[in-house]
Amino acid sequence: MFLFIASVKLIARLFYRFEVTWVEGRELDDWRQVRVFAFLNHTSLFEPLFLSTMPWHFLWNGSKHALLPIADKTMNRPFLGPMLSLMAPDVVSITRKKDDSWDGFMHKLQPDSVVCLAPEGRMMRANGLDSSGKPMTVRGGVSDILQHIEDGYLLFGYSGGLHHVQIPGERLPRLFKTIKIKYEALPVSQFKREINEETSSRKFKIAVVKNMQMRRERHCF
């Protein structure tokens, strides 16, 4: 599994340039402390290219402990589904509803899990909307995860978008483009204090969604 992830990183470095920045210049020294990676501005199925911006020790740790929820529609694709299953030891197919599939994902959560997900839950099309013609918004699944995690870091990845590389519906990516991403790392405990985790579960979820939506609008390119 690690060899597959490493090959994606190396191939990406051969064909693309990457620009990585950090909110307020505050870099995270040890990515092994990351418990949740929330990737915002989901625009393309070629987003595994962003693995090239992550340090080797994070990829190694992820190859042993990563937990990924991926839409069943994506996992059912003939070539893409099997490839994505090689990205983590636990890849869970879920629907876009809070149903048994989400409960099954939550039961997979372990003390050493590194949860990686796209909180929007769907992909932006060329017109800036989702496949149903609705504006892109953040959903509340992250709040469920955070209620089970107390330590480590919440890492946000603010994508600069990949429509210049591949727009949903296109088969092949364009090579030799510049890919941009901005990171922000917050201690999970700090983020939960800012949200006020003492509120009810419903109010906590609403506050988490509102906070992430604000961060998405402020930091995504």
**Per-residue pLDDT tens digits for 69-122:** 999 989 998 888 898 899 999 999 998 776 789 999 999 999 999 999 999 999
Kindly report the average pLDDT of the chain as a whole number. Answer: 94
- pTM of this structure: 0.94
* Alpha-carbon span 122 to 129, nearest angstrom: 10
Which residues contact residue 211 at a Cβ distance below 8 angstroms, ignoring those fewer than 6 apart? 191, 194, 195
Tokens of 143: 């709040």
The closest of 52, 41, 38, 54 to 160, measured between CA atoms, is 41
What burial letters (b/e) apply to 45-70, b meaning 16+ CB within 10 Å?
A: bbbbbbbbbbeeebbebbbebbbbbb
Judge whether 138 and 40 are in contact, CB under 8 Å.
Answer: yes
Q: Based on C-alpha coordinates, what's the Rg of the chain?
A: 16
- Lowest pLDDT segment from 41-50, 69-78, 189-198: 189-198
pLDDT at position 83 is 87
pLDDT at position 202 is 87
Superfamily of structural domain 2-219? Glycerol-3-phosphate (1)-acyltransferase (3.40.1130.10)
